[in-house]
Structure 1
């Protein structure tokens, strides 16, 4: 949800005509409804300090708020101070509002909208006062104007800050560099995400992104989720995260780079190259963009010769022919390293490809590999001295040694690298895939074979991550409680529902190597889990509440609750991993009145999709009735139908009841 900060007077204050204005009523009756209608979460400082005073919370709001609404009804120095801070920090999204009985803005002043059309009148609004509060006769219209104004900001072409307008080269600061020491309502969630990033799963981060209190944190979480998905090689879903960032901030450079990288990995090389060309044109000196361009050209070159089942000789001959993308990749990587010698990976890629080009016999002119090698040796040595236990640094050192070192030094360097891998299977596997490309081209065969042997030994000692063949996501009705007025899932529906779930799983080919995700409530969830267990599907429970509370509310509360509890326990004892508990994984509910069960369903959906959109099938045991909020069965049904179409709906209205 986007975040609005309101800067306005507190309490009851006399206006220009001496009549009291109740600004608490203005906030409650005018500001909050209008901003909520625009989809904004509203913040306001808790107390008014002396003129010019600004605590860390206020400064953080002024920096990070998507919209700032400033009430200039009174000539209040604190409001003007807040406006000055906001105008200096951010280029846009300020709305000035003024009550009709307040101090008038004099024509020709700096706030006169006629003075500069780029600071137009649509960003300064008047609301009407009556008897010290909002005028009830115009209140609805006043709210609507404010809502419409803030809704239009994402599409605005001009900034509202006179400072940024006058100084067009002034850049907004990175909000991360201005975080206060003490955590507050904005920085607390970001700090919590940062603390979890090392162990967080993509599905977790996606839920946190949706709950972010402002756009800046939403963007940070989406980027983190996209990076995690790319690491898992789920580039289709990662691409969606970067697209979401660009919807919020179209010029976000990092998201544009990540998006281009995703496109390349998905085989959409032309689109990726076009995206990178635009980035290079905008910032030709940026080493990150040059390195990205090199990676896309390198991937394009590899895709032209690394064909499945092709003989090594055929691959080598084909690689030699495809010199254009190879040379382009070398030049981009070389430029990136020249602009930033600390980017040893870019330099290493440039040198590796230069030597491969020479090895393949397609180098037509002398290159500067000797000079590049000398610079790279210094760069890697400096990185190794600073971070000797970093796997990327150690593998860079090993790969550099592989290019021109003797066999003994190659073995030693790769043993050092695997010694600091920390059980990171993905990192080891990435190193192996790079070595296999060199092997396929016949480059330094003895040294390459020795390096692969050491990596293979490390992989054999590292447990590979579980990667499901298929993912089955389930949502369905709980078994009816004894006091339920209108039956929805009575005991008589259990046998036909169990049979229908089993038949659905059989039709989908469920079996070993697949993954089942659900909450574990009585009724549909447990029937689904039992059917999956019978087919040797791996079970994964995700609970909306701490387990004792969940069991009381969602298992034991059903008719024959003791039997459902025994069935839950039987499933629980066979799990490969203990149930994940929502508040433990993601923290408390973002709002006091939020529904933990709907939040858990959103968590389930995000987790399922993070395994790969094409792998997910949704099974629901549902009567088709609407009324679900976000995260309900209806929402999950619609979302999966939109994404994959792989939805199996077991309509409880069509099942034949059997005597209980």
Structure 2
């Protein structure tokens, strides 16, 4: 998916402080748009999203969600500066500033920021003599921004200022503001396990591309809760381009495609996210699951040699995800379990086990432990051959089990370990008892 570049600028012809008119539409058509396209990005101009000339909710969503942005500061337009302030507050980098050299003075607050000058002719349009070089310069700046350091003064000056890229799917819904009635309806639909109820809420949104991003994402996650993979894929296709391009949505699309049996498409979606945004525990964890399912499929087809190669790919992705964020135990527990599945257990497993154990313990200490926390402790104890620890974790997990499928999932993972250890001559009787209790 082509990354989006949001353009913050006036439109039409607007005067500078000395009364001269700048043809901003010509600046966009001749300079900014060609440079964005040459950088391999898709341009989305702010005024194309205006409704009645006011800054509305869709505008805020695009400012926040678009990976790249260009802001033309010429004429010190109040709307542009307001939008730039919001952008700098929520995005640490990839915001390129422009101004027409000699057409008014930049305000003091932004005068020290790195902005790229461009040249206008007497008519207020881009100067043809300088245009080619300026298009190339802006295009190069945007390409460099893929790997640049923070350009937002907020992130440069305030160490540790929060990065919205850290938001996970499970907390996104809690941090957005949307209609309480729709939120309640979706919660009831998930509780009733009725797909038609979610469809009914989704139908109320009308044009999904202009609907509240919080509701749109909540519908997506509601479909996920009911394992409605085809509906998830279809829903993503209806979203606005900036929301559809966000890491959160693309990760969920990859998950849905994989569960729908479209493994190769899922793999490509997730690889694109990693290439554009870098490795994260969430993206790599889902990609690891794609390879894990492919490994199981190859084993079922009797393609053992190919399966061994796919297993190594799954281990590599889960490990990359865990190394991206040691606090996230999900890729960690998967990597240490899959290492056990190799013909010769991976020696790195012994080093990783205590790290994963600590990650789970810190998560449990900082919140309200649920079934999956104790199930992870159970799996870790089995891997470490800690019989007493496994029995204790099993009791705690069963006390918090909400659905039968949760126990079945853990039992399946433990069965993988049994199947790997039994041919090596290990006594697996105590592990069979754990599996039986989970499936009871």
On whether the aligned pair clears a TM of 0.5, the verdict is: yes
* 1:123-171: CA deviation from partner (whole Å, max 9, x where unpaired): 52324143243444544544443333323322x3322111111224223
Distance across 2 between alignment mates of 1:284 and 1:445: 28
Report deviation, 1:90: 0.3
Q: Which residue of 1 aligns with 2:378?
A: 348
Q: Which residue of 1 aligns with 2:198?
A: none
Of 43, 46, 51, the residue aligned with 1:44 is 46
Residues 212 and 99 of structure 1: CA distance in aligned 2, closer, same or farther (over 3 Å): same
Q: Which residue of 2 aligns with 1:125?
A: 117
TM-score, scaled relative to structure 1: 0.47
* 1:439-480: CA deviation from partner (whole Å, max 9, x where unpaired): 96652699699789x89xxxxxxxxxxxxxxxxxxxxxxxxx
TM-score, scaled relative to structure 2: 0.66
Q: Which residue of 1 aligns with 2:332?
A: 290
Residues 433 and 139 of structure 1: CA distance in aligned 2, closer, same or farther (over 3 Å): same
* 1:562-596: CA deviation from partner (whole Å, max 9, x where unpaired): xxxxxxxxxxxxxxxxxxxxxxxxxxxxxxxxxxx
Structure 1 gaps of 5+ residues are 114-118, 305-321, 358-366, 400-429, 456-660
Larger Rg: 1
Of 402, 406, 409, the residue aligned with 1:393 is 406
Distance across 1 between alignment mates of 2:50 and 2:34: 21
User: In the alignment, does 2:180 pair up with 1:167?
Assistant: no
Aligned length in residues = 374
User: In the alignment, does 2:291 pair up with 1:248?
Assistant: no
Report deviation, 1:3: 1.8
Paired residues of 1:7 and 1:70 also in contact (CA < 8 A): yes
Distance across 1 between alignment mates of 2:431 and 2:109: 73
Report deviation, 1:41: 3.3
Of 153, 156, 160, the residue aligned with 2:145 is 153
Paired residues of 1:97 and 1:124 also in contact (CA < 8 A): yes
Matches within 5 A, 1:360-399: 367=386, 369-370=387-388, 373-381=391-399, 383-384=400-401, 388=402, 390-395=403-408, 399=411
* 1:52-99: CA deviation from partner (whole Å, max 9, x where unpaired): x74312211110112222121112222222111111100111122222
* 1:366-390: CA deviation from partner (whole Å, max 9, x where unpaired): x5x4355435423442x33xxx3x3
Residues 92 and 49 of structure 1: CA distance in aligned 2, closer, same or farther (over 3 Å): farther
Report deviation, 1:249: 0.9
* 1:229-283: CA deviation from partner (whole Å, max 9, x where unpaired): 5547876665444322211111333223344555664535666666666665664
Paired residues of 1:333 and 1:346 also in contact (CA < 8 A): no
Matches within 5 A, 1:504-583: none
Distance across 2 between alignment mates of 1:240 and 1:444: 41
Paired residues of 1:65 and 1:214 also in contact (CA < 8 A): yes
Distance across 1 between alignment mates of 2:121 and 2:323: 53
Report deviation, 1:205: 6.7
Residues 138 and 168 of structure 1: CA distance in aligned 2, closer, same or farther (over 3 Å): same
Q: Which residue of 2 aligns with 1:111?
A: 110
Q: Which residue of 1 aligns with 2:199?
A: none
Report deviation, 1:184: 4.8
Q: Which residue of 2 aligns with 1:614?
A: none
Q: Which residue of 2 aligns with 1:214?
A: 242
Distance across 1 between alignment mates of 2:314 and 2:413: 24
Report deviation, 1:346: 0.8
Residues 248 and 438 of structure 1: CA distance in aligned 2, closer, same or farther (over 3 Å): closer
Distance across 1 between alignment mates of 2:265 and 2:84: 40
Residues 16 and 236 of structure 1: CA distance in aligned 2, closer, same or farther (over 3 Å): closer
Residues 234 and 326 of structure 1: CA distance in aligned 2, closer, same or farther (over 3 Å): farther
Matches within 5 A, 1:372-521: 373-381=391-399, 383-384=400-401, 388=402, 390-395=403-408, 399=411, 430=412, 434=416, 437=419, 443=429
Report deviation, 1:347: 1.8
Q: Which residue of 1 aligns with 2:75?
A: 74
Distance across 2 between alignment mates of 1:263 and 1:162: 41
CA RMSD of aligned residues (A): 4.5
Paired residues of 2:322 and 2:329 also in contact (CA < 8 A): no
